[in-house]
Structure 1
Amino acid sequence: MMKDYIIKDINLAEAGKQRIEWARRHMPVLQKIKEQFESEKPLEGVNVVACLHVTVETANLIYTLKAGGANIALTASNPLSTQDDVAAALASGGIKTFAIKGENEKQYYECLEEALKIKPHVTLDDGADTIALVHSKHQELIKDIKGGCEETTTGVIRLRAMATDGALKYPVIAVNDAETKMMFDNRYGTGQSTIHGIMNATNILFAGKTIVVAGYGWCGRGVASRARGLGGNVVVVEVEPRKALEAVMDGFRVMPMMEAAKIGDLFITVTGDISVIRKEHFQAMKDQAIVCNSGHFNVEIDIPQLTKLSKEVNQIKNDVQEYVMQDDRRIYLLAEGRLVNLASAFGHPPEVMDMSFANQALAVRYINEKGRTLKNQVYRVPAEIDSRVAKLKLEAMGIEIETLTEEQDKYLHSWTLGT
């Protein structure tokens, strides 16, 4: 029998409800979609498993899907990102919720297994763990699944690899790749919330420090620009030539991690890859260097190697571990190498997640309606959804944009007009 919830404390619900309401007021686009969903019920009878960060913003997405008629089971996509009061608020409102901040790996997958008992028609992921578990252990569920949605870069990478190998057994919408998600969520959301998490954990001054940002995708761009805005001397480490060139043209120093390791005061990884900071880099770092990660999984910093290099490990404050090297240098790891912006702060602001989750809600509707007609591939968010979210956001901000005249429209769509 499926449980109703696995959470820390149902008595935290009232505090969670108040914070969810605060976020709702800053998510006008999602509220417009919720109103439409309440009227049209496009998800009536649809079972949805959502493996997402359990935050106030996610709660508003869940309420939007529920308004559309969906039956939902929510589980955490990261052991340290759950806000326990939000989980309690959702559980008290009848949402099947399985998430506790600080759960270990065994508990994490027990919660995901519990959520899958709902037998989903649509899956929502932030990191592709639901899809991976379905494909590896619960292939009997695939016949009823119309499709899924993936929220983050790391998950999209995993899923495209599955599709290339012919292993993906149902279609997935890469919500991450919507322009109104990728450029805004990844750049403005990750940029601000990562700095917020580091400040919460350490209270360090950025001005005058050498900040090493590994990765110059949209997340790296956001982190680098915010760190520079606070007075940091930013170094970018990048493997892709075009992104590295862009970082140079944006005014940042670019170098290999081995060189950056010698001069960095603070290291922030946002690549989606494994062992970005590893043994040789730890050995080259200055005393009191700080390392943290804002990529989805805690693999970007090679923590096992850091541990082996250390003669002592101390928990010196919340979210800060001190690794004492054999030569008495100290390296500080934040938030156990997990998402520092969620583990040590609140994650992205609701104004940013408004667009991300608007795309998510509309993509769920699209999958429910079109999933059976799609191939087992990873698809971009349809352009009309992306454009609609942008328009709704502009309207919510009170901003009007120009419109083409008939003459201008004709000129742009004709090959016979010119000089």
Structure 2
Amino acid sequence: MTQSSIGAEGQVADDIPDYPMPRAKGCPLDPSPGLRDLQVKAPLARVRLWDGSTPWLVTRHALQRALLADKRVGSDILLPGYPHVSESFRDRRAEIRAFINIDDPEHARQRQMLSPSFTVKRIEKLRPTVQRIVDDLIDKLLAQPKPVDLLSEFALPVSSLVICHVLGVPYEDRESFQRTSRILMHRQSTKETALAAQMELVGYFDQLIGRKLDAPADDLLSLLATEQLKTGQMTRPDLAMIALILLIGGHETSADMITLGALALLMHPDQLAMVRETDDPKLIASATEELLRYLSIAHGGRRRVALEDIEIAGEVIRAGEGLVIPTEIGDRDETVFHDPDVLDVHRDARKHNVFAFGMHQCLGHPLVRVELQTVYGTLYRRIPTLALAVDVSDLEFKNEGLAYGVHELPVTW
């Protein structure tokens, strides 16, 4: 048999499961039972993707960290063997690449230009601004007739206002960038539709960058435009793509996490009570990390490809073979987190892999943490009777996107 037809523990082609794997009915916040089975039986195993390819699926927390930090593992989407999410994503990403989907040294060069703007110390200075945004939106929420969709009326405005403030994007343009972002985050958007949305957003940022060059302000795009473009360290198309990635990641995924975190707490009233009744920022920070771990909303697996042969966990991953690393099951690993399927806001969950690990760790994680801590530490205190307005079984979940969440979260109080 060929290497491609044999996987972990003698796994042969007929035994290779399809990926992604469905969740169990009635358990919308838990990873697929299929992922749990593989984690127990074969933490490094083959799975079959939409195109018939059979990359390795990595389900144990330690293995995920080891491979995410391994310099013999690449993120370049143009590499042969890269395990694409869908045909649409493969085709459109080949046209225009972002810094998160390239490898060093170019990845490191671009990342080093951005890193100073996302240090913990610098982001902490934004906390009062984020607090004002959250408080203002809760005021508006309370003034509306009930029930209210927490996603569209609170979570999405919070995340959009925050990232607009950081980047220097006019908030009045939100309908346009939210529409194009939804298209780009959808797994099955056609190549033509997605490329049109991507080019529209890149064109928007190109014009905005031009305005920043003419009249710089106190924002990230102005800083990068004046420091990097004028010195030739970055090209204008590169900056436009960086802005696109930061904008989409800064509002789409954060909005989903705010909403899904609210749902998780409402489904666990004992944990919600502890969050609602505390004024201890350490407990709010702990609850934030636990919700990130418990939900791990990037439910599609980090995608990588081996650059060299890698011997690990009793297997040999050959150069050119793909890797799929689903953090939602890695963060439910009982060897790292006691009773991992239990939501416990007092748990020390800081070892989660939500933001990835190693050289491609999410650049904006300090901003996400400040945003979530502010929301979780404010929303339930100010609306102590917040409750679901529908049964959980009536909610429609986002299984078609790169980030997991709900399409609407009707709440009342």
Alignment TM class, shorter chain as reference: under 0.3
Structure scoring higher RCO (CA < 8 A, sep ≥ 6) equals 2
Could you state the TM-score of these two structures normalised by the residue count of structure 2?
0.27
Larger relative helix fraction: 2
Q: Report which of the two has the higher share of strand.
A: 1
User: TM-score, normalization: structure 1?
Assistant: 0.26
Larger Cα-atom Rg:
1
